[in-house]
Chain A
Amino acid sequence: MLALQLLVNGLVTGCALGVVAISFGLIYATTKLFHVAHAGVYTLSGYLAWSLVGHGVPAIGAMVVAMAAAALLGGLIQGVLYAELERRRATHLVVLIASLGTLAVMQNIIAAVYTPNILQFPLPWSSRMVSLGAVRLTWTQILTVVLCLSAFAGIMWFSHRTILGKQIRAVASNPFLAEITRLRPQRIYVTVVAIGSAVVALPGILVPLDLGLQPYSGITPLLTATIAMIAGGIGSIGGSFLVAVGIAVLQNMSLLIMPGEWSIGVTFGIFIIFMLFRPTGLFKGR
């Protein structure tokens, strides 16, 4: 029975991780930048929602505001910092270091303002249990599955069916050609990072609802999500999501044979196997 419960927990965590993976994948496939600061946006959105809930804002409202703030923050990072670096003809390495600096700034502002200790959301309903057959789920977990699957479907629809989504994919596949056809890559980049940041706020709030908030906890999910993105095939939304679910299930099932502290080892092991045998990913995009 433990195995079944772990499987279900893995599926739930995987949905949240999958959304992190597609949000990062959207940004990476378009801007080609390794946006490490994404982990900071992820963490900050959770803290923002926590503050809003603490001030009596209803949970839904807090979530919407935090997502909007994350979008604004992401847009600013791209529109101000990355665009300026691009204008100065900075190399890939320079942008990467600046992004890491941004992550350090965000994490430590959070740690200074909210203390480095774990914070829990003051929402009693979030940890209330529901029994479904032999499996017990919290309301947070049910909410995570519902919202993250809708986000997944929404992004699929957005990027394949809307004009903006098609423009983004056009810029992603060939920025020069897109510029000739009167698309402005830099403007599209800002939009993409803003959208990606709003999307990542969703798991950024839902995961801490279950596990609590910590200022330095963003880098592990981002790393795992990046591994899922690479293993799923860069540019493939469905592939990234599926592999993310797969990794989370494996991590949870590995609890049967080893303690949880080593789950990062499992993740990293998966990455090395992919790197050696299938570097382009399972479901290669374009």
Chain B
Amino acid sequence: MDFLYSYIALAEIYVLLGLSTNLLVGIAGIFTVSQAAVFGVGAYIVAYCLMHDVMGFVPALLVAAAICVVLNVLVTLPSLRVSGDYFVVTSFGIQLLATAVFVNWTAGTGGANGLPGIPSPDVFGYQLESSHQLVLLTTVGSALGCLAFWLIMRAPFGRLLRAIREDELAVAAAGKGVLRAKVSAAALAGAFAGSAGGIYATFLSFVDPSSFDLDASILLLTMVVVGGARTLAGSVIGPFLLLALPQVLSLIDIPTSIAASARQLIYGVLLIAFMLFRPQGLAGEKL
């Protein structure tokens, strides 16, 4: 039973991340491979705050989300101002730089060994200890995320983002601020990824750089692409399906030494196959 709980909780955390990636890739049409880095920043901030008793879980989560918003705005603003392909470089750059910081800044992040023993979260005075209490937390978190995503998509801002993806020039000609909308999308994505990171840190009570590297970003992109870009359903289906994949693989007899590469290999094949034959994913719209 505990196993099922942890699968659901992890998938729900990835739903939040999927929403964040979907907002950038699917809705605003910005390619990104740095969402795992932002996720990591959120995780490390919350871990630090709880381990050093700086503040409680909820304020720490808000701080993490706010810092991730600022971070995403600071890095997207200059590159989006110039050209779309510059953001590809920025995105890879942030991811590699973040990995370097996570691995080498031993004082703050524990280096490659990570930070063990992160205390369990407290929500308005209640200490969440057992696994079903934690599932409750992730469920509430991801439900709030989904609600926010749904509301944003229905709002004028959501329509503006979709219009930009369809025809940037026409939107600019209609007098709308294209750059501002894109940067806002990036800021929102930062808030989603940052809070997902905070919940992840307390859920696992352990963080290390391997959860936030380029491979993790590629996994996120695969989730969105497989689930379906631009829709809420897509961002929910993708994480649940792809997180089940390692379990399926463990049924097949693959030597453990190549299990990790085999998994990544499948993600790569999925990316290519979906782009070729079904770019809208299982439950998405045209990418």
Question: Which residues from chain A sit less than 8 Å from chain B, CB to CB?
Answer: 34, 36, 81, 84-85, 88, 90-98, 100-105, 107-109, 111-112, 115-116, 215-216, 219-220, 223, 226-227, 230, 259, 261-262, 264-265, 267-268, 271-272, 275-276, 279
A237 to B42 Cα, complex, angstroms: 41
Interface centre among B83, B88, B261, B270 (most CB of A within 10 A): B261
Question: Which residues from chain B sit less than 8 Å from chain A, CB to CB?
Answer: 25, 29, 31, 33, 78-79, 82-86, 88-90, 92-94, 96-97, 100, 103-104, 214, 218, 221, 225, 257-258, 260-262, 264-265, 267-272, 275-276, 279, 287
Q: How far is the CB of A65 from chain B (nearest CB, A)?
A: 25
Residue of B nearest to A92 (CB): B84
Chain B residue numbers with a CB within 8 Å of A215 are: 261
Chain A residue numbers with a CB within 8 Å of B94 are: 268
Chain B residue numbers with a CB within 8 Å of A85 are: 275-276
Chain B residue numbers with a CB within 8 Å of A275 are: 78-79, 82, 86, 90
Residue of A nearest to B287 (CB): A94
A97 to B78 Cα, complex, angstroms: 23
Chain B residue numbers with a CB within 8 Å of A94 are: 275, 279, 287
Chain A residue numbers with a CB within 8 Å of B103 are: 261
Residue of B nearest to A101 (CB): B271
Residue of B nearest to A110 (CB): B261
| Pairwise interchain contact A104-B104, C-beta atoms closer than 8 A | no
Q: How far is the CB of B151 from chain A (nearest CB, A)?
A: 25
Chain A residue numbers with a CB within 8 Å of B271 are: 97-98, 100-101, 104
| Pairwise interchain contact B257-A115, C-beta atoms closer than 8 A | yes
Q: How far is the CB of A217 from chain B (nearest CB, A)?
A: 11
| Pairwise interchain contact A230-B89, C-beta atoms closer than 8 A | yes
Which of A101, A223, A227 touches B275 (beta carbons < 8 Å)? Answer: A101
| Pairwise interchain contact B92-A112, C-beta atoms closer than 8 A | no
Which of A90, A96, A112, A262 touches B31 (beta carbons < 8 Å)? Answer: A96
